[in-house]
Each structure stands twice: as structure tokens, then as C-alpha cells.
Structure 1
Amino acid sequence: MSAELATLPRAAASPAPRSRLRGAWEVFARDRLALVGLAIVVLLVLVAVLAPWIAPDPAQGRGAAAVAQRNLAPSLDHLLGTDPLGRDVLSRVIFGARSALGVALAVVSLAIAIGVPLGLLAGYRGGWVDEAIMRVTDTFLAFPPLLLAMVIVSLLGPSLRNAALALAISWWPWYARLVRGVAASLRERPFVEGARALGLSDAAVMRRHLLPNALGPIVVQATVDVGSVILAAASLAFLGLGAQAPAPDWGLMVFDGRAAIFDHWWYSTFAGLAIFLAVLGFNLVGDALRDALDPREARR
């Protein structure tokens, strides 16, 4: 009986995972834009990880000033120029990648940790539990995520940590609603009923049979959300509600360079370009994953 409990329903829920992954990769690899997006994402990750070793001046990248070199145009000495405090813009952009990616991953991870369990519980149990969780979710969804994050940061005080927490609070409802739909569509399936008949607890059914079937949509949503969170965090920093000087943050760099955009265009331009490329890369990968993980697209 214990062997049946461990193997029978799981096999029914997730047949041939290797062949499914191989098919998904084949669909993904045929999309040239997806490969471009993947290259951008990989480059961003490498830059963030290797920032202290590849930045021309790590100290300036972290915020150390060099006023004697202020507002220098791009040249061989400073490929992207220097800012009003003399800091090398390339170093600042490189260290900004670490900040942007770290905040985005933290926000998405926390949003998943809150939203996925609530969505599983609402979809699987139904009834008043579903109604209660979804009404709370709808309350959060009634506010635009960035506006809600601005209100929360205004109450907590401007900082990078508070901005990340505020964004996570405004982002989790999307995962709750997404996972709730998957769980509700699967709770009456034969393999779920078979798992319950064999004596598995509700928590085990949700963890071992509903959650694996929701991983595809979660991965797609999370990939796209990383880019969206990078943009939202930069927006909060631009408004003075996120990262604070002298932290290397792309949104903060755009804010600091806005007044001199026509005289010293390079400071805010390259930071804005970094935001654009990061969002573009994650959106391209997310769109391709949506097609690759769609069974109908795989058959096609």
C-alpha cells in the first residue's frame, strides 16, 4: 500500500517529464527572439555576479566620488563617461545590474511564496475558503501594483528593502489567482480523486499533484515578472521611494541625470538603456516559455 501511495497518482499526474522538457526546449530553441532574450538574460546574470571583477572602478561603482573627473564624456578612459560626482558610469551600470536583479528575484520569490500556497488552497478547497481568499486577492488587484507599492513605501519609509517588500505585497495576488485557476480545474480529475482515495492528505495532494501541474504557468509568469519588477523598482527609485544615494541603481541614475540630459546625456541614457534591455530580455524569454510549455504549441 505504501508503494502505491508513493507512485501511482504521481505517475498519472506527470507522465514522461524528460520528453516534455525536451519538446519544450525544441520549441524554445526554434524561436530566434527567444534566444536573443536568453542571451540578454545570461549576460545580465554574468554581469551581476562578476561585477566586482569586471567593473573598471569597483569603488566608484559602489558610490565613491571622484569630483576631479566629473561630467567627462565617453572616451577610452571612461567608455560610458562619468557622472556629476566623477564616478565611472560603466561601473555604476554594472553594479546596478546586481542591485536590479537582486531586488527582482527577491520580490518575485516572496510573491510566489505568498501567492502560490493561497492559490492552491483556494482552488483545491473551494467554497467559503475560495471566496475569502479570492475577495482579499481582488482587493489587492483593485489597485495598480506600482501605486500600491508607492503607498506602502510612503508609510514604511524610502529604502531599497522597503521598496522590495512593497512590490512583493502588491505582486502576490497575480500568483494566487493564476494558481487558483489551475488547482480548481484539476481538483476533480481522476488522478486527484485517486490520490484522495488512497488516503493522501489534502496538503500532500496539493504539494505532489496540483503544484507540479501549475509549475509551467508559474515559471512563465515569474520570468516576465522579473523584468516588470526591475522596471517598477527603477520607477520607485526615480521617484525617491526606492534605492537611496549613493547606491548603484539604474532608476536613481536616470533621476540624477534628468536635469542635464541635453548637456551630459550619457549618465541617464545608459542607465535607461540597461533597464530597457533587462525588461526586453525577460519578456522575450517569458513569451517563448509560454509557447514552449503550452502542450498545444508543442504538438504543433
Structure 2
Amino acid sequence: MHALQSLHTFALPSQCLQLVTVSHWQQLTEIDFSKPFCLLGEGSNTVFVEDFVGTVIKIALKGVVIKESDTAWFVTAAAGENWHQLILQLLEKGIAGLENLALIPGTVGAAPVQNIGAYGVELAKFVEYVEGFDINTQQRVKLTREQCEFGYRDSIFKHALKGGFVITQVGLKITKQWQPELSYGPLQNLKHTNLTAQQVCQAVIDIRQSKLPDPCVLANAGSFFKNPVVSHERASKLKQQFADIPTYYVNDAEQKLAAGWLIEQAGLKGHQTGGIAVYHKQALVLVNQGNGSADDLVTMIKYIQQRVWQKFAVKLEHEVRLLGHDSEVHIQGAVCE
């Protein structure tokens, strides 16, 4: 058995039967995928809630290649590259556009799975293709942005290709016509004529650090719950009941609610169950205070979901991937439709 506590940022005590570190894509052809397996990058969006009886495959592919045309930069980054460091590396070379996604933890390979997003920007805007290893055909496959079926914190890698595709590299297209995205609350204060991408990046870093604990200091997996998406009609009714509830336009049919606000308004900021707590600075974050257990975490998730449902009749889904005995598990506290 191999210890996993140091391989995921929530740091619950757990083990796996086998651990394989992949530094070249051809190693994937040697793995028996018929047995339980789990793909892992930096473990910043994965929590092991049980000992895993299969193989944990740690993706450590490295390399960044940059090309350009008259109008755009084309960046190919291997799946094991650190996402935040890639953004800083590109900014140093004068390649701007990804700065709103700074300090999101994890690897390049994990980014398309979640279609990571922050402060008004989503990764999907920049993806040209995603390349990976098709487990069924044992071949490398390149998917276009359209084939990735990106949605809010969603992609084909969570659905049709779940368990059948290993992302090995991501191709990004970043236009040279840089325009800052400052629609998100705190960034609106940056609006001035000589604004640089580096200044936007630093502002995003400052905002995130003011809200989110460093997992090296206090174990956590970042934002634990998805911001729920509801119909315009449902959002309007909530506005009538709770005048200050923040809502964000998604499309002509839907609006997004702030999960952290819902949890805080349910009176759960700082709430603790065993060694697991709702972070006192940001209710969207759960933290392991060092002695947390999987049972504590599951109890906390269900309790938060139930309290938010009781107050707002809104379902919360955990954004963080939870791994059980031999596969991913989904937790939903009891709600009444």
C-alpha cells in the first residue's frame, strides 16, 4: 500500500494499492486499465475519503512550447505542468490573457476537466485542442474545443470520456489583442488607462490569497462547492425573499448564485465537525485542521447541503472530486423537492 496523504492537498489519511508516476505518455500503454484506477495531478481538487484499492496514476508530464502568428500565440503545455506557474511564465514573455485564472491550484491537465474559471474568465475561451491517450484504442487522440463540450465547471471528460481518456497536453490560443476582463467585483477598481496584465494578475493573486488559505499551511481543496445555476424565474423569486443575494447572468435561461454567500447566510461560516471546518474567511472553502477524518468531511458536506436547502431551497453540489473504495463518489445531503 502507498500513502496518499501527502499527494492531495486536503491531506486526509488514506492509501492506495499501487502508485504509478507517468513522465512520458507511452507509460500509459503499460498500465492495466481494466482494474480500478484514478488519475491525479497535484491533488488540489481530489479528496480520498476511503483507501483506494486500485492504481493511482500521477501525471508528471512536462514541457511548454510557444509559437505565434501575426494575431495570436499558440501555447502547448504538458498535462503535468503547474497551471499558475504557466501563467507567470507566459506573462514574463509578454503573453497576456490568462491572468484572471492565476493562482488556481493544480495542473494543466486537470484544467480542462473542470473547465476552470475565475473572475469572469473560463479556460474554454482559450482552448484550441486537448490531446490525450484513449484507453480503449490505446492511441493518442486530439480533440477540438467543440469536441470537449465545455460547460460551467464541466466538460466531456466528466461524462462520455470519463474513465476512458488521459489528458497528456493542452493547446491554447491566446490573441495578441489583449483586453482586460474587469467585470468581477474587486477587479472593477482597476479600471484605468495604463493597466497592465501583470497588474491584473497581481490583483487576482491578492484577492485569492485574502480569501483562500495556503494548503501548505492549512489543508484544503479550494472552493469546495459549485456555484449553483438556477432559472431566471427562480433567481427572481430568491431576490424577492433575499434582496442582497448576488446573482450572475449565465445565459438567456439561467443565472448563477454564489455558493459561498448561501453557506455564510445559512450561518455556517466557521462551523466545525470534528477536525473539518468551514473556513472563517471564506465559507466556500472547507479546511482540514490536521485531525480531520473522512467521516467528518462527509458529515460536514451533508450538513451544509441540508442547511442551504432548508433556507434557500437550492441544491449544492460539491465541486471537489471525492474518491471512494474503487471509484468516484457523489454526496448529496437529504433534500425535499
TM-score tier after normalising by the smaller chain length: under 0.3
TM-score by length of 2: 0.20
Bigger-Rg structure (1/2): 1
